[in-house]
Amino acid sequence: MGKKVSFLLEKALNGDRITEEEAVYLYKYAPISALGHVANELNKRKNEDKAYFIVNRYLNPTNICVYKCKFCSFGVSKSDEKAFELSIDEVLRKIEYSYKNNITEVHIVGGLPPHWKREDYVGLIRVVKQTFPDIIIKAYTAVEIDHIAKISKSTYEDVLLELKDAGLELLPGGGAEIFAERVRSVIAPNKANADEYLEIHETAHKLGILTNVTMLYGHIETIEERIDHMSRIRNLQDKTRGFQVFIPLAYHPEGTSLGGERTSSVDDLKTIAISRIFLDNFENIKAYWITLGEKLAQVALNYGANDIDGTLEEELVVHAAGSKESYGKTVDKLVNIIKGAEKIPVQRDTFYNIIRVYN
C-alpha cells in the first residue's frame, strides 16, 4: 500500500475529515480490503455491530412519466402498452395486503403522468393516511415535489406543507442521480436539476421533514463526479443535519436508452466504503439489496453499510432495468442475511427507532 494511501486512511481513522481530492485518491488507489477495514471500523464507532432492516412495502402508483431519463426503463408514455395507473382502490388493496404482514412504512414513488394534478398527488397521501393511520408514509422524491410545484405554480415550501398536512412524513432519496451538470444534462436533462433537488431537501429539513439521499452510479460519471455529488450532500448535511441515510444505487442498464454495463462488485463495495469514510456527518449508509443483490448487500455490511432497507413486497423501478432479485423478502430472510454478515439484526422504523433486536 502506498504511503499516501496509508496516510489518508490513518487520517480517516483518526476522525479527521478527508477532502474531495483525498477521497478521489483513495477511490483510485486504495486496495479494497484496506478501504473496507477502515469503513467497517468507522461504521462500528457509530452503530456497533447493529445492522438495520425495516418491514415495509414499496408502492409505485403509476409508471406513466413525462420525463424521459435515459437510465430509466420504468417510466413510459401514456400510450405505451406497459403503461399502468392504479386506482385508489387498488392502492389501498395492496397496502391492506401488506398491513397483514405488519408493515410499519409504505414507500410511495412513481412516474409523473401528464394528466395528474397537484390534488392527485396530495389526495393519494391523504387517503392512505386516513385508511392506515399507524403506517408511516415515506413518499415522493424531490423530482415529484419540483414537478408538483411547477404544475401548480407554487413554492416548494407550500407543496411540502400541504403534503405534510396530508400525512407525508419523510422524503425518499430518489431523483438525485449525479448532480454534475455534464452528466445530468445527458442522463436526466428534463427534471429537477441539482440545485433544485438540494433546495427541496433543505426546505424539507427546515420544515421538520427528514429526508434520505441517493446517488445513481456506474453509468457515464467519473470518480471525481461521484465525489462532487457526495460533497454537495455533505455540505448540506453540515448545514441542516436533516439527511437520515445515504444510499448509493448501482446502475442497471437493461432496457434503458443509455445502455452500458452493470457495475463490478468491487466498484459497489468501494463505493459503499468510500461513502462511509467521506460522509462523516451521516449516521447511516444503506446497502439496498434490490440493486446490489442479497449476497453483495450482505458483504457490504462489512464495508461500511449498516442498513439493507426492507421487505418491500414489490419493486418495479430497478426490476424494469434488469434486477433479478425475487420480489419481497420475509423478515426471516432479512434477519438471516444480517446474521450471515456477523452483525446483529435490528428491525427499525422509518426514523431508525429500534423496534426489535434479534440477538
Tell me how far apart the alpha carbons of residues 117 and 226 are, in angstroms, rounded to a whole number: 34
CB 50: neighbour CB atoms within 10 A?
A: 19
Q: Which of 199, 118, 212, 201 is nearest to 166 (CA)?
A: 118
- Determine if 191 is a binding residue for ligand V47 (CB under 6 A): no
- The strand pairing partners of 62, in sequence order, are 85
Which member of 169, 177, 196, 294 binds ligand V47 (CB under 6 A)?
177
Tell me how far apart the alpha carbons of residues 16 and 87 are, in angstroms, rounded to a whole number: 52
135 binds, among ligand V47, ligand SF4, none (CB under 5 to 8 A by kind): none
Q: Which is nearer to ligand V47, 25 or 58 (CB)?
A: 58
Which member of 36, 111, 218, 248 binds ligand SF4 (CB under 6 A)?
111
- In the complex, least distance from residue 187 CB atom to ligand SF4, rounded to whole angstroms: 9
x-marked contacts with ligand V47 along 289-328 as a string, rule CB under 6 A: --x-----------------x-------xx--x-------
Task: Please name the residue ranges forming H helices in 190-303.
Answer: 194-206, 223-240, 265-278, 289-292, 294-300
Task: Please name the residue ranges forming H helices in 67-155.
Answer: 88-99, 118-131, 142-151
Q: Which is nearer to ligand SF4, 194 or 273 (CB)?
A: 194
- Determine if 67 is a binding residue for ligand SF4 (CB under 6 A): yes
214 binds, among ligand V47, ligand SF4, none (CB under 5 to 8 A by kind): ligand V47
From the list 32-40, 92-100, 192-200, 249-257, the region that binds ligand V47 by CB under 6 A is 249-257
Residues within window 69-108 making contact with ligand SF4, judged by CB under 6 A: 69, 72, 74-75
Cβ 347 vs Cβ 54: under 8 Å = yes
- Determine if 167 is a binding residue for ligand V47 (CB under 6 A): no
x-marked contacts with ligand V47 along 41-80 as a string, rule CB under 6 A: ------------------------------xx--------
- Determine if 61 is a binding residue for ligand SF4 (CB under 6 A): no
Compute CA 337 distance to the chain's CA centroid, rounded to the nearest angstrom: 20
Three-state DSSP state, 343: coil
Residues within window 144-203 making contact with ligand SF4, judged by CB under 6 A: 191
Tell me how far apart the alpha carbons of residues 247 and 289 are, in angstroms, rounded to a whole number: 11
Which member of 167, 175, 248, 345 binds ligand V47 (CB under 6 A)?
175
111 binds, among ligand SF4, ligand V47, none (CB under 5 to 8 A by kind): ligand SF4
Three-state DSSP state, 337: helix
Tell me how far apart the alpha carbons of residues 159 and 209 are, in angstroms, rounded to a whole number: 12
From the list 64-72, 204-212, 273-281, 306-314, the region that binds ligand SF4 by CB under 6 A is 64-72
- The alpha carbon torsion through 258, 259, 265, 268 (nearest 10 deg) reads 0
Tell me how far apart the alpha carbons of residues 308 and 26 are, in angstroms, rounded to a whole number: 25
The amino acid that residue 19 corresponds to is: T
Residue nearest to ligand V47 (CB): 174
Which member of 216, 269, 285, 338 binds ligand V47 (CB under 6 A)?
216
- Determine if 301 is a binding residue for ligand SF4 (CB under 6 A): no
Q: Which of 248, 309, 273, 329 is nearest to 52 (CA)?
A: 309
Q: Which is nearer to ligand V47, 237 or 256 (CB)?
A: 256
- In the complex, least distance from residue 300 CB atom to ligand SF4, rounded to whole angstroms: 23
Tell me how far apart the alpha carbons of residues 330 and 311 are, in angstroms, rounded to a whole number: 6
What cell does 239 get? Answer: 448545514
Q: Which of 358, 264, 246 is nearest to 309 (CA)?
A: 246
The contact set with ligand V47 (CB under 6 A) reads 71-72, 141, 172-175, 177, 212, 214, 216, 247, 249, 251-252, 256, 288, 291, 309, 317-318, 321
The contact set with ligand SF4 (CB under 6 A) reads 65, 67-69, 72, 74-75, 111-112, 143, 191
